[in-house]
Structure 1
C-alpha cells in the first residue's frame, strides 16, 4: 500500500464532501473545488495551515492522538473513518512503534475446533467465519447451502470479494449487488489500513483493482465502513428470493476473524430458509448413502475370490 498516497487521498476525499455551511463557516468567495479549503480544516482542527498541509501530503508521523481526534472532528468522520485515520497514523509510525505484527490484528487462516463446533450447533441459521481478506474459513451446512454459488465458484475459491466482483453469477445471486459491492470495498479499505503489511491482502486488492472496473472506481472513492450488521437480498437457485438480516461478531481470541449469522426478515424468507435446510439435509443424506455404496462396492471388488471346489 502506498501509505502517503492513501493518507493524502483519504483526507482530500473527506475534505471535499463537507460544505462550509455544514461546518459552521461562511461560504464567501469563489470556490473552484467542492468542500472545505485546507485553511478552513486547519482552523477547525486548531492547528497551523502549514501543519495541515504537511499532514494532507501524507505525513502523519509524529501526529498526536489529540490532533488526530481534532482532524476527525473537523472532517466529520464517522467511527469507521476515524478508526481508519488512526490506523494510517499507526502505520506511519513504522514497525518499531506499531509493534512486530505491523497491524492491530493477527492474520489468521485457521479456525479453532471450538468455533467450528459452535457453527455446527446453529442448525436453524446460516453462519460462517471469515477473515479480513473475505476468505470464508468455516461455515455450517446451512450457510454452505445458502451461499452455494460462492462455494461452488472456481473463480472465487471461497473468497466473497472475488466472487462478488469477478464471477458473473454474483449479479444473479445478490439482488442488491450494487450495495453489496459498495460495502465490500469500503470494508476492505478499512482492513487495508488495519493490516498495512499483509501482502496477501495487498495482492487481493491489486487483483480486484486490475480485473474489475467496478471495484477500481469504488476503491478510488476512499470510503470506509464497518460491517457489523445489515441486510442481504439474495436470489437462491433452489428456493428463490430471501431477505435476510445479519449480525457480525468479532471472535474475542482473534479480532481478525468475524462470525456472520443470518436470520430471515419476513415470513416468506423464513419458509424459504426452512425449505433450503430440508433440501440440504436430504442432499447430504443421499450423498452419504452414495459414498457408503461406493465404499462397499470397492471392498467387494478387492476381496479375494476362492477357486471353485472340485
Structure 2
C-alpha cells in the first residue's frame, strides 16, 4: 500500500490570484480623476481646496459610498469579484456617471446589467404631473407614500444629482448615503430627526404598507442615528413651511430654503415638494 502524503503546510498554500480586468481598472480610475470636488456637496464645506488636493481620493470615494476603502480600491484595480448592485450603484453616483457609463460599470464589473426592482405605488407619474413639476422655477419633486420618487424637475437634478437613476427613494438617500449628512446642513438636528419622525407618522397612518415598513427596517438596520431617533421619538407629520439650509454643488455659501408641501387628492399620503430658495433675512428663528 502506498502511504498517504501528509497535508501541505498551511504556510505553503497559495490562493489563486484574483482575476483582473484592465478595462474595468482604466474606466473606474479615469472616472474618479475627472471628478470636480466642488460638484460634490459638502466637500468644499469641510476644507478649502488647494491645487494639490483638487482630485478626489480613493479614500474619499469609498467614504461617500459608505463601503470600505478595500472594496473600492479592488474595483479600481480591476479585481473581478462579487460586487453587489448596491455597492456599484453608490460608486456610479459618487463618480457622477451618466446612464451609459453606469451600464458600462455594471457590465465590466459583473457581466450583467443592473437589476431594477419596481415597487407598486398608489401614485403614478403622468404627463400632466411632470409638466406641473417642470414648470416650477426651483427644485420640485413628487414622492409616493413610501418616499419613492415619482417625478422631479431639472432644478432638482442640479441640486441633487443622485435623482438621475442612482437612487429612487428620498429616505434611503437621507439615511444611507454619507453625502446627505453634509449636503443637508445640521443633518443630526434639523433634518434626520424630523424625516425619521415623518416615516413613523406615515407608518402609523398606513400600517399595511409593506414597502414603507421594509424601508424603515432597512434604515434602522444600517443607521445608528435612526435607532437613536426611534428611542427618542418626536411627532412630526410633515415639513411644510420649514426653513432649513443646504450645501449645494458649486456653491460656496449655505443656501436657505423653505419647504413647501402639497398632497394630491388621488393619493393623499403622497407629496409634491418644492424647495424654494429664500434670503437669509427671511429665515424663521427657532421659537
Question: What TM-score, normalized to structure 2?
Answer: 0.52
Distance apart, 1:221 and its partner CA: 2.4
Partners of 1:171 and 1:189 lie apart in 2 by 20
Aligned to 2:264: 251
**Of residues 155, 158, 176 in structure 2, which corresponds to 1:145?**
158
DSSP 3-state at the match of 1:138: strand
Q: Which structure would you say has the larger RCO, counting Cα contacts within 8 Å and 6 or more residues apart?
A: 2
Distance apart, 1:246 and its partner CA: 1.5
**Of residues 227, 248, 268 in structure 2, which corresponds to 1:236?**
248
Q: Does 1:176 align with 2:186?
A: yes
Distance apart, 1:232 and its partner CA: 2.6
Moved over 6 A (4+): none
Distance 1:152 1:268, change over 3 A: farther
**Of residues 223, 232, 248 in structure 2, which corresponds to 1:221?**
232
DSSP 3-state at the match of 1:119: helix
Does structure 1 conserve the Cα–Cα contact (< 8 Å) formed by 2:202 and 2:269?
Answer: no
DSSP 3-state at the match of 2:263: strand
Partners of 1:220 and 1:152 lie apart in 2 by 34
Distance apart, 1:194 and its partner CA: 1.1
**Of residues 183, 190, 207 in structure 2, which corresponds to 1:196?**
207
**Of residues 118, 133, 139 in structure 2, which corresponds to 1:119?**
133
Deviations 1:180-232 (A, max 9, x none): 00111110011001111111111111101111111111012232212122123
Distance apart, 1:243 and its partner CA: 0.8
DSSP 3-state at the match of 2:145: coil
What residue ranges of structure 1 are gaps of 5+ in the alignment? 1-105, 270-310
Question: What TM-score, normalized to structure 1?
Answer: 0.48
Structure 1 segment 1-310 matched on structure 2, within 5 A: 107-122=121-136, 124-148=137-161, 150-151=162-163, 154=166, 157-178=167-188, 179-227=190-238, 228-240=240-252, 241-266=254-279
Distance apart, 1:109 and its partner CA: 4.6
**Larger C-alpha radius of gyration, 1 or 2?**
1
Does structure 2 conserve the Cα–Cα contact (< 8 Å) formed by 1:243 and 1:265?
Answer: yes
DSSP 3-state at the match of 1:204: helix
Q: Over aligned residues, Cα RMSD in angstroms?
A: 2.3
Distance apart, 1:153 and its partner CA: 8.3
Does structure 2 conserve the Cα–Cα contact (< 8 Å) formed by 1:153 and 1:163?
Answer: no
Partners of 1:107 and 1:238 lie apart in 2 by 35
Partners of 1:229 and 1:134 lie apart in 2 by 19
Distance 1:196 1:242, change over 3 A: same
Partners of 1:153 and 1:251 lie apart in 2 by 24
DSSP 3-state at the match of 2:242: strand
Distance apart, 1:151 and its partner CA: 2.0
What residue ranges of structure 2 are gaps of 5+ in the alignment? 1-119, 283-287
Structure with the bigger percentage of helix: 1
Does structure 1 conserve the Cα–Cα contact (< 8 Å) formed by 2:159 and 2:249?
Answer: no
Distance 1:221 1:107, change over 3 A: farther
Distance apart, 1:256 and its partner CA: 2.0
Pairs aligned (count): 160
Distance apart, 1:118 and its partner CA: 0.7
Deviations 1:259-285 (A, max 9, x none): 11122211799xxxxxxxxxxxxxxxx
Partners of 1:185 and 1:135 lie apart in 2 by 15
